[in-house]
């Protein structure tokens, strides 16, 4: 299983590249502490805090994925 920071970064950056070609919106699950910083990133469409029905998440384009990858403590959730 690939679980290192570089694996997470490679996955996000490859996805961003594909989105540049095909379009689309990424759905990214977040930790609670990532919601506010995610709102300030370029390419974010929405960053939603935890509710009774949903875990926190963000919606964004390829530009968002690239910016999110560069944030301190970046990782993708499984």
CB atoms within 10 A of CB 54: 10
Q: Please, which pLDDT band fits residue 77 given cuts at 50, 70 and 90?
A: confident
Q: CA separation (Å) from 44 to 2, 21, 64? A: 26, 18, 5
Residue 74's pLDDT is what?
A: 85
pLDDT digits 0-9 by tens, 34-73: 999 999 999 999 999 999 999 999 999 999 999 999 998 8
Q: Please, which pLDDT band fits residue 4 given cuts at 50, 70 and 90?
A: confident
Q: Please, which pLDDT band fits residue 2 given cuts at 50, 70 and 90?
A: low
Look at residue 8 and give its three-state secondary structure: helix
């Amino acid at each position: 299983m690939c679980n290192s920071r570089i694996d997470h970064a490679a996955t996000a950056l490859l996805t961003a590249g594909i989105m540049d070609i095909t379009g689309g919106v990424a759905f990214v699950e977040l930790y609670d502490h990532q919601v506010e910083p995610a709102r300030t990133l370029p390419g974010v469409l929405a960053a939603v805090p935890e509710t009774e029905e949903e875990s926190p998440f963000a919606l964004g384009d390829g530009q968002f994925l690239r910016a999110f990858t560069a944030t301190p403590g970046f990782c993708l959730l499984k």
